[in-house]
Amino acid sequence: MAKRRDTLRISPRSFSLVLLVGLFYLLNRLSGCVLQDAPTASPTAGEASATLISESNRQNTTIIVGSKDFAEQFLIGEMYALLLEEAGFRVERRLDLGPTPLVQEALLEGIIDLYPEYTGTALLTVLQLPSASDAEAVYDTVADEYQERFDLRWLAPAPMNNTQGFAMTREDAEKYGIRTFSELAEHASELVMMGPPEFMTREDGLPGLMAAYGNFEVKIYIPVEPTQRYQGLLNNQADVVVAFGTDGELAEYDLLLLEDDRHFFPPYQVAPIVRASLLAEAPEVGAILDALAPKLTNETMQRLNYEVSGRERTPAEVAREFLISEGMIEEQP
């Protein structure tokens, strides 16, 4: 399954048009799904403790879990769904909804109740704020802005960082003396790079990197589909590929992910975004999902992603197996 993330900056007018068209599509696609009636204000601590849903009544609460349209999102969305089911809630899955604007609008309109999002995507794509490098500051910014603008709540972020970058074989990296973006820029004219077509023109792609690092003109840039990047690298068709920090191939093939030493890309930690109305109705949802966050490291997600992309297992199977191994859900007979 291809893995991609949406970080392209778009104008407010275009963004609104995309949302309107996408929402029309989603409403038609998902017509008939049951939405919840719930308070719109988030509870205070006292209200939360007073309104905790008893385990016997959780089956009366349906939680709709969404995701974007790539493997890592399927995995994490399925983990959220399994944890909520383990706690006794009824869960509907609306995975593979599409790119960021469509899933964001589905959340705002109550078509879904929660989905996994990346802090960097929220900062650049949704909020259209300047990039920043401090993970805690980025999380605090997006959490505050989402609460103020959308009445949405960010739960605990995972330590994983699915930021964009570059990967090389360790042999080639040693040959050229490259471990950082700055060193890559020094040797760029000698290197063949492979990556998505849009990376050549996006401001958070080569143009922006050239501005940040200078002298960043590669010998050849070969545009390919995301699933073909690592095949090209391993077959010696490319010296460096555009990569993401949790790509499964990084660990499987012992590749070197170069250091973004000038912090061009923001951090991309993943966390659940939840409608405030759901937390008002079922505040324990926060603690249930927060328990997963510390377990999602780069190493863990690289391994799980490769089980899907490299070994062609289903996200549902891999997610369930992982949660059982961590003691978070019971193994079914």
pLDDT digits (tens, 9 = 90+) for 211-258: 899 877 899 999 998 888 999 999 999 999 999 999 999 999 999 999
> Residue 136's closest CA among 115, 119, 155?
119
pLDDT digits (tens, 9 = 90+) for 119-147: 999 999 899 999 999 999 999 999 999 99
- Name the CA radius of gyration of the chain, rounded: 21
> Residue 278's closest CA among 91, 73, 20, 31?
91
In total, the chain counts a number of residues equal to 333
Which residues of the chain does CATH 3.40.190.120 include? 164-257
What are the strands of the beta sheet with 192-195, ordered from one edge?
220-223, 192-195, 240-244, 164-168, 256-257
pLDDT digits (tens, 9 = 90+) for 274-320: 999 999 999 999 999 999 999 999 999 999 999 999 999 999 999 99
Which residues of the chain does CATH 3.40.190.10 include? 12-161+268-325
Among the ranges given (16-20, 82-86, 134-138), the one the predictor scored with the smallest mean pLDDT: 16-20
CA separation, residue 178 to residues 1, 195, 207, 215, 284 (Å): 30, 18, 21, 15, 47
What is the pTM (predicted TM-score) of this model? 0.81
CATH class of residue range 164-257: alpha beta
CATH 3.40.190.10 fits 12-161+268-325, yes or no: yes
> Residue 256's closest CA among 159, 175, 185?
175
In the 8-state DSSP scheme, what is residue 189? G
Q: Please tell me the distance from the alpha carbon of residue 221 to that of residue 256, in angstroms, as a whole number.
A: 19
